[in-house]
Amino acid sequence: MLFHVRMDVAIPHDLDPGRRAELIATEKARALELQRAGSWVHLWRVVGQYSNISVFDVDSADELHQILWSLPLFPFMTVTVTALTTHPSSLSEADG
Amino acid sequence: MLFHVRMDVAIPHDLDPGRRAELIATEKARALELQRAGSWVHLWRVVGQYSNISVFDVDSADELHQILWSLPLFPFMTVTVTALTTHPSSLSEADG
Amino acid sequence: MLFHVRMDVAIPHDLDPGRRAELIATEKARALELQRAGSWVHLWRVVGQYSNISVFDVDSADELHQILWSLPLFPFMTVTVTALTTHPSSLSEADG
Amino acid sequence: MLFHVRMDVAIPHDLDPGRRAELIATEKARALELQRAGSWVHLWRVVGQYSNISVFDVDSADELHQILWSLPLFPFMTVTVTALTTHPSSLSEADG
Amino acid sequence: MLFHVRMDVAIPHDLDPGRRAELIATEKARALELQRAGSWVHLWRVVGQYSNISVFDVDSADELHQILWSLPLFPFMTVTVTALTTHPSSLSEADG
Amino acid sequence: MLFHVRMDVAIPHDLDPGRRAELIATEKARALELQRAGSWVHLWRVVGQYSNISVFDVDSADELHQILWSLPLFPFMTVTVTALTTHPSSLSEADG
Amino acid sequence: MLFHVRMDVAIPHDLDPGRRAELIATEKARALELQRAGSWVHLWRVVGQYSNISVFDVDSADELHQILWSLPLFPFMTVTVTALTTHPSSLSEADG
Amino acid sequence: MLFHVRMDVAIPHDLDPGRRAELIATEKARALELQRAGSWVHLWRVVGQYSNISVFDVDSADELHQILWSLPLFPFMTVTVTALTTHPSSLSEADG
Amino acid sequence: MLFHVRMDVAIPHDLDPGRRAELIATEKARALELQRAGSWVHLWRVVGQYSNISVFDVDSADELHQILWSLPLFPFMTVTVTALTTHPSSLSEADG
Amino acid sequence: MLFHVRMDVAIPHDLDPGRRAELIATEKARALELQRAGSWVHLWRVVGQYSNISVFDVDSADELHQILWSLPLFPFMTVTVTALTTHPSSLSEADG
């Protein structure tokens, strides 16, 4: 099941630099792990924004919530979730 | 170069049914053609909406504009374009 | 899988009255059928609005889209879909 | 009488961790108590958000206000209240 | 139980003048009737708008919905409903 | 002359508790005084919000501004002012 | 008493041209009359818009409503009313 | 050349009181100076808001920017600039 | 004096095709004429929109208004005007 | 390839003054460097705002992102990116 997710990140400018660096590093490790596991299927940076647009392939909305809720940067993100379905004109099996 | 495009379609309810059917058929043919040509790389339906979320891979913003402007349903669409770039945590070459 | 759906209805005032009556009757029949089938699990009217707030229990986002897209009043609705998941403080099994 | 309530939680990131933990624990205890008492009839988590969508069954709008106002996390919530009524196509007695 | 209701009226400019006049006259008759019955307790015009701000005193949200839904101008109104409760600093019994 | 005023209060969570208590107590005293003087004619709490909806009866817009500007909680309020006039269908002299 | 009023005009493109011309001519005559009478004290065109920004000096909000409601173009305007008062740093008596 | 400017002021509640008082005093002095010089031609307080609505008469947009940018409270203001021109129905020479 | 102008065009789909073609042709002729005259200094198409972003160099806001108001497509445009001034870091004399 | 970028700057009022000055100086140096290199082709100040409107000429969206992301003031900016293309009525080669 596919979900389109946009994440806009806003880390407070006065957060401890060590804490910030650690959050970003663990966020990256988690993103790589989820991509390797096949649930985070697309991940793009939005030009000129501290934001990404992603597509997740999960078994259920519950699984998606667990993934998003446990992201290290989740407390500093505005997350927008949009459920996707196969487009009748799509040729791609991966997008179905 | 990748662009994220959302298209929200609103065909007036009093449009001639033959004209409507023709527009939808030519739109579909054009979508298939652009997917086969490799420029319309992702095409998803938004659940519960007469809308799609798409990703285009084009040589330039000019090429994207020519594609969108000439879509049969373009006059009845609200189009939102977002430029994408490679995310530093992305593993996918196709998303780069 | 649970989805929260709000439907705001706006039938054009100049729609043929017979067409309007037919749409409303077939919409009602479809709503009853989907409730009996167990997919449309909650259906409330919003006070002072031609709108409903509903909860659907479906196997997939695709199934939800097929249900919404084929509603007789779909062309005259603004539909807002929100994916739900179990709340850690919820006691209700039905809400899980 | 039924009310639909959405609660979006935003606890300041620099709140004392002990205070935060205590607020969340007492919020949970209060939610369980109100569910057992029959006033908080539905409680769902919104996927990807620190938010819930709830339905309350109360004797009056005053009772609902007392409940919401006294929630431990109330000072950190954005609350949206929507009055509900029976939908003429609803089969559910509990939703009436 | 008190509800605050704002009604913004937008009658299409091409509505038949006789139909318009009849709608306005029956709306006025209904407003007078509901005020005499004690359910429509305040009714003000918003300066410079075809809008009113009203307060209703009803036994339930269901009763309010029946009142609003059956207003002759309802199909041409945008209605905003806000539940009210007694303010702890209010001296007025009628506002309680 | 009647004005409809909505006040949404947002006291910073880190304000000194003694200062907060003092502000709320002086705000209440001022609200009672203005109600007794006949200028603050309606005062309702919005359900589920730290907000009120009020109606003021003043000699001029200047008088209303002096009242609002000098409220103890004014620096922590978002205030929305709407001028009211007699509705041609209103039966109430007090609303005129 | 001073009120700031913005009027955004949107005459339907399919309105009868004779009716349109008559509306515009009577609107202009009314604007001149109200300026000569001293109630419409400022009238500016917004650059690039079919809109004006105006200031009215009236005895009451009721008087302002009667003026706006009876403008020939009122049914085709979006009107925004803002109550003004003397600024403590203003030198102008006319603005007081 | 006339520009309509709205300034909404939001001084942080924890700004040093001496700094706040100094800012307000120098802002007032500057406003008086600019009124005497003939560039700040209207200055009104918005009722119930820490805001003003002003009209400036300047030789160029550059001059307006220099004025606004150098206001002592500029860092704490949200400023909205609207270019004005003579309204064809205006009788006032000063508004031309 | 430089102004940034965005024009979003929405020609009604049921406008007479001959009228539409004539409007577009005269709009183009006017745009060329104003560019040659030096007042319309930049004109870009927004990708995926029936919109342009332009910069005008005019002697006054009045001149800009006369230009915009008399554009053939003006009745079908949403126009947004933003006054520009020299940026202290700009190297371009033409942008000054 | 041309992109229209608006940058709205909001430096926290409690940022260390030395850090602020350094950020502004390095931002200016970087803006000059990018203009000399030919990628930052237009740079205007928005009147009355701590904002600029810019046009960038880059080889790709990736290049634009690298430029924006590395601006010294990027963490304190809201950035809006709009892809541009040649307007069919434009006479300017530089705008193509």
CB distance C81–B48 less than 8 Å? yes
Task: Please check whether residue C85 touches A, CB under 8 A.
Answer: yes
pLDDT digits (tens, 9 = 90+) for E34-64: 999 999 999 999 999 999 999 999 999 999 9
Nearest to E79 among C13, C45, C49 (CB): C49
**What is the SS3 assignment for F9?**
strand
Query: End-to-end CA distance of chain A, in Å?
Result: 9
Mutate to test the interface with I, among G13, G15, G24, G47 (most CBs of I within 10 A): G47
- What percentage of chain D carries pLDDT values higher than 70? 99
CB distance A64–D49 less than 8 Å? no
Nearest to B61 among J62, J65, J83 (CB): J83
Task: Please check whether residue H84 touches I, CB under 8 A.
Answer: yes
Q: Are E57 and E65 in contact (CB under 8 A)?
A: no
Instruction: Over range I31-43, report the average pLDDT.
Output: 97
pLDDT digits (tens, 9 = 90+) for I53-82: 999 999 999 999 999 999 999 999 999 999
Residues of E within 8 A of D83 (CB-CB) are: 3, 61, 64-65, 81, 83
Nearest-angstrom CA–CA distance, D54 and F29: 36
pLDDT, residue G8, reads 98
Nearest CA in chain J to I93: J42
DSSP calls for C23-64: HHHHHHHHHHHHHHTTSEEEEEEETTSSEEEEEEE-S-HHHH
Find the length of chain E.
Answer: 96
Nearest-angstrom CA–CA distance, I58 and G48: 13
Query: End-to-end CA distance of chain I, in Å?
Result: 9
Nearest-angstrom CA–CA distance, A61 and A65: 6
Q: Are F44 and F52 in contact (CB under 8 A)?
A: yes
**What is the SS3 assignment for A72?**
coil
The pair phi, psi for residue A6, each rounded to 5°, is -110, 130
pLDDT digits (tens, 9 = 90+) for H50-60: 999 999 999 99
pLDDT digits (tens, 9 = 90+) for C46-74: 999 999 999 999 999 999 999 999 999 99
**What is the SS3 assignment for B34?**
helix
Residues of E within 8 A of G76 (CB-CB) are: 13
Name the stretches of chain A with pLDDT < 50: none
Residues of F within 8 A of H49 (CB-CB) are: 79, 81
CB distance A45–B91 less than 8 Å? no
Nearest CA in chain A to B90: A43
Q: Which residues pair with J80 in a beta bridge?
A: J6
Q: What is the largest CA-CA distance in chain E?
A: 49
Within its chain, how far is the Cα of H87 from the centroid?
22
Q: Which residues pair with H42 in a beta bridge?
A: H55
Q: Residue G64 — pLDDT band, cuts 50, 70, 90?
A: very high
- Can you point out the beta strands (E) in D1-96? 2-9, 40-46, 51-57, 77-86
CA atoms within 13 A on the CB side of G44: 26
pLDDT, residue A95, reads 76
CB atoms within 10 A of CB G52: 21
Nearest to E47 among G12, G61, G76 (CB): G61
Mutate to test the interface with G, among H44, H51, H85, H95 (most CBs of G within 10 A): H44
Q: By C-alpha distance, which of A87, A40, A47, A95 is closest to A63?
A: A40
Nearest CA in chain B to I13: B75
Nearest-angstrom CA–CA distance, E21 and C39: 45
Nearest-angstrom CA–CA distance, G40 and G58: 8
Nearest-angstrom CA–CA distance, B33 and B35: 5
The chain-wide mean pLDDT, for chain C, equals 96
Task: Please check whether residue I15 touches G, CB under 8 A.
Answer: yes
Residues of J within 8 A of H79 (CB-CB) are: 48-49
Task: Please check whether residue I87 touches G, CB under 8 A.
Answer: no
Mutate to test the interface with E, among F42, F49, F85 (most CBs of E within 10 A): F42
Kindly state the helix (H) or strand (E) to which residue G18 belongs, with its residue range.
helix G17-36
Give contacts of F 43-62 with G, CB under 8 A: 60-62
Nearest-angstrom CA–CA distance, E89 and F32: 7
* I and F in touch (3+ CB pairs within 8 angstroms): no
Nearest CA in chain H to G26: H89
Provide CB contacts within 8 A for B37, sequence distance 6+.
none
Task: Please check whether residue D67 touches E, CB under 8 A.
Answer: no
Å between C12 CA and nearest CA of chain B: 9
Task: Please check whether residue J25 touches I, CB under 8 A.
Answer: no
Task: Please check whether residue J65 touches H, CB under 8 A.
Answer: no
Task: Please check whether residue C37 touches D, CB under 8 A.
Answer: no
Tell me, letter by letter, the H, E, C secondary structure of E78-94.
Answer: EEEEEEEEECCCCCCCC
Q: Are J65 and A48 in contact (CB under 8 A)?
A: yes
Q: Are I68 and I78 in contact (CB under 8 A)?
A: no
CB distance C83–A2 less than 8 Å? no
Nearest to B95 among A28, A31, A44 (CB): A44
Nearest-angstrom CA–CA distance, F60 and G59: 9
Q: I65 vs B66, E25, G47, I31, I79, CA distance in Å?
A: 31, 43, 5, 15, 11
- What percentage of chain G carries pLDDT values higher than 90? 93
Task: Please check whether residue G91 touches H, CB under 8 A.
Answer: yes
Nearest to G84 among H4, H47, H92 (CB): H47
Task: Please check whether residue A3 touches C, CB under 8 A.
Answer: yes
CB atoms within 10 A of CB H94: 12
Nearest-angstrom CA–CA distance, B38 and I19: 38
Nearest-angstrom CA–CA distance, I67 and I75: 13
Q: Along the 96 residues of chain J, how does pLDDT read in single tens digits?
A: 999 999 999 999 889 999 999 999 999 999 999 999 999 999 999 999 999 999 999 999 999 999 999 999 999 999 999 999 999 999 987 776
pLDDT, residue H96, reads 64
The chain-wide mean pLDDT, for chain H, equals 96
Nearest-angstrom CA–CA distance, H39 and H70: 14
Residues of F within 8 A of H45 (CB-CB) are: 65
**What is the SS3 assignment for D10?**
coil
Nearest-angstrom CA–CA distance, I51 and A74: 37
Mutate to test the interface with F, among G85, G87, G95 (most CBs of F within 10 A): G85
**What is the SS3 assignment for C70?**
coil
Instruction: Over range H60-87, report the average pLDDT.
Output: 97
Residue H48, amino acid: G
Tell me, letter by letter, the H, E, C secondary structure of I34-87.
Answer: HHHCCCEEEEEEECCCCEEEEEEECCCHHHHHHHHHCCCCHHHEEEEEEEEEEC
CB atoms within 10 A of CB J18: 8
What the block records as the tokens of G57 is 């000096």
Domain locations in chain I as residue ranges: 2-83
Task: Please check whether residue G70 touches H, CB under 8 A.
Answer: no
Task: Please check whether residue J92 touches I, CB under 8 A.
Answer: yes
**What is the SS3 assignment for D95?**
coil
Residues of G within 8 A of E45 (CB-CB) are: 65
pLDDT digits (tens, 9 = 90+) for F9-50: 999 988 999 999 999 999 999 999 999 999 999 999 999 999
Instruction: Over range E70-95, report the average pLDDT.
Output: 94
* J and C in touch (3+ CB pairs within 8 angstroms): no
Mutate to test the interface with H, among G90, G92, G93 (most CBs of H within 10 A): G90
pLDDT digits (tens, 9 = 90+) for H11-43: 998 899 999 999 999 999 999 999 999 999 999
Nearest CA in chain F to H12: F75
Nearest CA in chain B to C69: B48
Nearest to E86 among F31, F45, F90 (CB): F45
Q: Are B69 and B79 in contact (CB under 8 A)?
A: no
CB distance C43–D95 less than 8 Å? yes
pLDDT, residue F23, reads 97
Q: Per the CATH hierarchy, to which homologous superfamily does domain I2-83 belong?
A: Dimeric alpha+beta barrel (3.30.70.1060)
pLDDT, residue F92, reads 83
Nearest CA in chain G to I5: G48
pLDDT digits (tens, 9 = 90+) for B48-71: 999 999 999 999 999 999 999 999
pLDDT, residue D50, reads 97
Q: Are J72 and J28 in contact (CB under 8 A)?
A: no
CA atoms within 13 A on the CB side of G43: 19
Q: Which residues pair with C66 in a beta bridge?
A: none
pLDDT, residue D68, reads 98
Nearest CA in chain J to I40: J90
Q: β-strand G51-57 against G2-9: which pairing, if any?
A: antiparallel
Nearest-angstrom CA–CA distance, A36 and E62: 53
Nearest to D79 among F13, F45, F48 (CB): F48
Residue H61, amino acid: A
Q: I57 vs A42, H68, I43, I68, J82, CA distance in Å?
A: 45, 22, 12, 13, 22
Residue B96 has pLDDT above 80, yes or no: no
pLDDT, residue C96, reads 65
Nearest-angstrom CA–CA distance, I31 and I67: 10
Q: B18 vs B13, B24, C74, I15, J65, CA distance in Å?
A: 13, 10, 20, 19, 45
Q: By C-alpha distance, which of C4, C8, C5 is closest to C49?
A: C8
Q: Residue F96 — pLDDT band, cuts 50, 70, 90?
A: low
Task: Please check whether residue B15 touches I, CB under 8 A.
Answer: yes
CB distance C47–D88 less than 8 Å? no
Nearest-angstrom CA–CA distance, D32 and C75: 41
- DSSP structure class, residue J50: S
Residues of H within 8 A of J49 (CB-CB) are: 79, 81
pLDDT, residue I93, reads 73
Residue D95 has pLDDT above 90, yes or no: no
Residue J32, amino acid: L
pLDDT, residue J96, reads 64
Residue I13, amino acid: H
Å between J11 CA and nearest CA of chain I: 18
CB distance F2–G81 less than 8 Å? no
Residues of B within 8 A of J62 (CB-CB) are: 1, 85-86
